[in-house]
Amino acid sequence: MARIGVFVCHCGSNIAGTVNIAQVMAAAQTMPLVTFVADNKYSCSEIGQTAIREAILKQKLERVVIAACSPQMHEATFRKTVAQAGLNPYLLEIANIREHCSWVHSNDKAAATKKAIELVKMAVAKVARHEALFTKEIGLTKKALVIGGGISGIQAALDMANAGYPVILVEREPTIGGRMAQLDKTFPTLDCSSCILTPKMVEVAQHPNITLLTYAEVKSVRGFVGNFEVEILQRARKVDASKCTSCGICWQKCPEKIPAEFNLGLGPRAAIYTPFPQAVPNIPSIDLAHCRYIKYQEFVARGEEGKKPPQCRICERLCPPQAIDWEQSDQVLVEKVGAIVVATGYQTFDHTRYGEFGAGRYPDVITGIQLERLLSASGPTEGEVVRPSDGTHPKTVVFVSCVGSRDERMGRAYCSNVCCMYMAKQAILLKEHDPEVQSYIFYIDIRAGGKGYEEFIRRAQEEARAIYLRGRISHIYQDGKKLIVRGEDSLLGRPVEIAADLVVLATGIEPSAGAKELAQSLNISYDAHGFMVEAHPKLRPVESRTEGIFLAGTAIAPNDIPGCVAQGSAAAVKALAVLSRPSLVSDPMVAIVDPLRCTGCFACQRACAFNAIDSQVTRDGKTIAVVNESLCKGCGLCVSACRGVAMNLKGFSQQQLLAEVNALWR
């Protein structure tokens, strides 16, 4: 017969303020097999843990119940405590009398005390049937995958690579650099975005520990922490990277011109292109949707009548090293990695949903990121800020904040975090470009919480003479060459109207297209907007709830560059903490098959979400189910699916759960 010790925690007043601890202790004294009962002000403190350890040794306890907070909080802590006293760590049961009891029943102390007693009673009945469980060591692949090659992903990849671990960096676009590569200058220091980003991009390309896969996408992820198997689709560039010298003749001579995505349609690009001059890798890609030769091939393949389109193939003829490779096709690569960092970044809100701002009809109503391209020396106008409609220099510029942020009408209640700052920055830059520019900034609140940010807003107001108007814009319409912007000055309490040359919409941040689908294949959670959900918003901000998968940057929430870089590094450290372990420890609370009862129906296999049920043939020729312990998550689905009561879950056996239920009514 086991000797059971019960420890009741006060948790300061968190539990003791509602639950009568003395009554719980008195009741516990009378429970079967309980030989020792004690209380503790804070069980998780060093003093509390020492008291538990000493009691186990002194009282020769064989099982322990700790009535305290949720096992999610401190089960791991207390398992270590009892192990230090020589007990098997799985001979412990937590009775959750805080989250499940005192916190939710603080208005009824008597009932809370009664419930606490019942919870302890159940835990005692269960722990009496606990068995010693033992962990196993499993191997791991000491290699990381980073999804997304923006600044967050670049930082994570470099930090892990510099720590000596191999990293695969997968980027969907033909180049890394992400949104930061599109920016002109960065707030609040006004250093040039590409000047600080490009060296990092080059470092990624040259790093011996980094395998860079651009124009590639993660298709599927299987496995578990330490042992993920990833399928990556490498899209065909139709350019042989080993031959290409990045001379640029191909894209200079390509006759097909289409609006450049990188410049948000403000300038053209060719059908064979690199998004921008400092692209990494600087290997052009052929845009299959627009290439004339591809169109010709498709026409021939359709077997249509009529005049064939031109074959073109100018790039092929002019390429000095003959790097154009029409035979190149998409490839699926399979890689094994131990940890994954998700840094899929953001896109901007589609402002054409705002009818009152012209719904995209007015060429001189542009977005903040379009203005970045106009300001940038490597942009479509080489840094000259001109109106898209007529190429003239705007003198009166109106900024509209919170376009697709803080607007529940658009389903976007959240703040996009960076717009207040980048509007101030752009107002300063516009003044530097042309002292005659007068900026007006319509705002709801000015959010400038970062280091040096408030001072920067002051600079926009005092040096760049930007006029800040608190209020929203009701209507923008074209009157000849001017855009009439009408809104409210809510501080003066009256309508305002400004005849502007250029209107800049501070479009909000939303998760990149495809982020939700990726999260689904990674089995990590995302919120209603598609932002990835952290394991804990405060204490585990760069971990997903799936072990071994970490998060960084604007995939989690709108963030600025310093925040993204910090998260990239933080996610790298968390991933390194996995990769640097000699081996991983498996959770012993997994399913187990009773071979004598299993009929081989494999209902368990169909129920299992983790592919953890294999089959095996016994010596008498019977085919039965067997659990792959390294894949099993201990969810228990197979147990409820099993018709023959052959499945059981270690640590949560049917007998243990039944004992809990019996204890309740006894």
How do strand 365-367 and strand 216-224 relate by DSSP bridges?
unpaired
For residues 145 and 335, give the distance between their C-alpha atoms in angstroms, rounded to a whole number. 9
For residues 74 and 66, give the distance between their C-alpha atoms in angstroms, rounded to a whole number. 10
Of 485 and 624, the one with the shorter C-beta distance to another protein is: 485
Using the rule CB under 8 A, give the single segment among 354-362, 454-462, 505-513, 625-633 that binds another protein.
354-362
> In the range 509-548, which residues lie near another protein by CB under 8 A?
none
Measured from the CB of residue 374, what is the shortest distance to another protein in angstroms? 23
Of 477 and 652, the one with the shorter C-beta distance to another protein is: 477
Of 359 and 585, the one with the shorter C-beta distance to another protein is: 359
For residues 198 and 377, give the distance between their C-alpha atoms in angstroms, rounded to a whole number. 15
For the chain, how many residues are written? 666
Closest to 612 in 3D by CA, of 600, 601, 625 = 625
Inter-CA distances, 244 with 139, 214, 572, Å: 40, 15, 33
Q: Using CB under 8 A, count the residues that bind another protein.
A: 12
> In the range 133-152, which residues lie near another protein by CB under 8 A?
none
For residues 621 and 653, is the Cβ–Cβ distance under 8 A?
A: no
For residues 480 and 360, is the Cβ–Cβ distance under 8 A?
A: no
Of 361 and 458, the one with the shorter C-beta distance to another protein is: 361
For position 73 contacting another protein by CB under 8 A, the verdict is: no
Of 27 and 398, the one with the shorter C-beta distance to another protein is: 398
| Ordered strands of the 438-443 beta sheet | 365-367, 502-507, 396-403, 438-443, 467-470
For residues 530 and 515, is the Cβ–Cβ distance under 8 A?
A: yes
Tell me the sheet residues that pair with 601: none
**10-29 mask for another protein (x: CB under 8 A)?**
--------------------
Using the rule CB under 8 A, give the single segment among 353-361, 414-422, 545-553, 575-583 that binds another protein.
353-361
Provide the 3-class DSSP secondary structure of residue 641: helix
Measured from the CB of residue 540, what is the shortest distance to another protein in angstroms? 42
Using the rule CB under 8 A, give the single segment among 172-180, 356-364, 421-429, 611-619 that binds another protein.
356-364
For residues 449 and 14, give the distance between their C-alpha atoms in angstroms, rounded to a whole number. 33
Of 378 and 478, the one with the shorter C-beta distance to another protein is: 478
Using the rule CB under 8 A, give the single segment among 20-28, 36-44, 350-358, 548-556 that binds another protein.
350-358
Number of Cβ within 10 Å of residue 267's Cβ equals 15
Of 257 and 475, the one with the shorter C-beta distance to another protein is: 475
Of 358 and 568, the one with the shorter C-beta distance to another protein is: 358
Distance of CA 390 to the CA centre of its chain: 42
Measured from the CB of residue 430, what is the shortest distance to another protein in angstroms? 25
Inter-CA distances, 633 with 519, 622, 627, Å: 19, 26, 11
**448-487 mask for another protein (x: CB under 8 A)?**
---------------------------xxxxxx---x---
* Torsion over CA: 358, 359, 361, 363 (sign): positive
Question: Contact with another protein (CB under 8 A): which of 76, 359, 377, 661?
Answer: 359
Place of tokens 């003959």: 322
Helix 21-29 to helix 109-127 angle, to the nearest 10 degrees? 30
For residues 662 and 93, give the distance between their C-alpha atoms in angstroms, rounded to a whole number. 17
Of 322 and 352, the one with the shorter C-beta distance to another protein is: 352
Measured from the CB of residue 365, what is the shortest distance to another protein in angstroms? 11
Number of Cβ within 10 Å of residue 248's Cβ equals 13
Of 46 and 479, the one with the shorter C-beta distance to another protein is: 479
Measured from the CB of residue 264, what is the shortest distance to another protein in angstroms? 22
**148-187 mask for another protein (x: CB under 8 A)?**
----------------------------------------
How do strand 185-186 and strand 623-627 relate by DSSP bridges?
unpaired
Question: Contact with another protein (CB under 8 A): which of 257, 317, 361, 536?
Answer: 361
Measured from the CB of residue 469, what is the shortest distance to another protein in angstroms? 21
Using the rule CB under 8 A, give the single segment among 152-160, 197-205, 351-359, 647-655 that binds another protein.
351-359
**What torsion, rounded to 10 degrees, do the Cα atoms 265, 271, 275, 281 define?**
170
For position 326 contacting another protein by CB under 8 A, the verdict is: no
Of 17 and 355, the one with the shorter C-beta distance to another protein is: 355
Measured from the CB of residue 73, what is the shortest distance to another protein in angstroms? 46
HEC string for 293-327: HHHHHHHHHHCCCCCCCCCCCHHHHHCCCCCECCC
For residues 651 and 77, give the distance between their C-alpha atoms in angstroms, rounded to a whole number. 17
Of 354 and 526, the one with the shorter C-beta distance to another protein is: 354
Measured from the CB of residue 501, what is the shortest distance to another protein in angstroms? 16
DSSP H helical ranges for 346-450: 368-375, 419-433
Provide the 3-class DSSP secondary structure of residue 342: strand
Of 488 and 547, the one with the shorter C-beta distance to another protein is: 488
Question: Contact with another protein (CB under 8 A): which of 54, 356, 489, 527?
Answer: 356
Of 356 and 517, the one with the shorter C-beta distance to another protein is: 356
For position 358 contacting another protein by CB under 8 A, the verdict is: yes
For residues 478 and 251, give the distance between their C-alpha atoms in angstroms, rounded to a whole number. 37
Measured from the CB of residue 226, what is the shortest distance to another protein in angstroms? 53
For residues 319 and 238, give the distance between their C-alpha atoms in angstroms, rounded to a whole number. 13
Measured from the CB of residue 495, what is the shortest distance to another protein in angstroms? 11
Binding site for another protein (CB under 8 A): 355-356, 358-359, 361, 475-480, 484
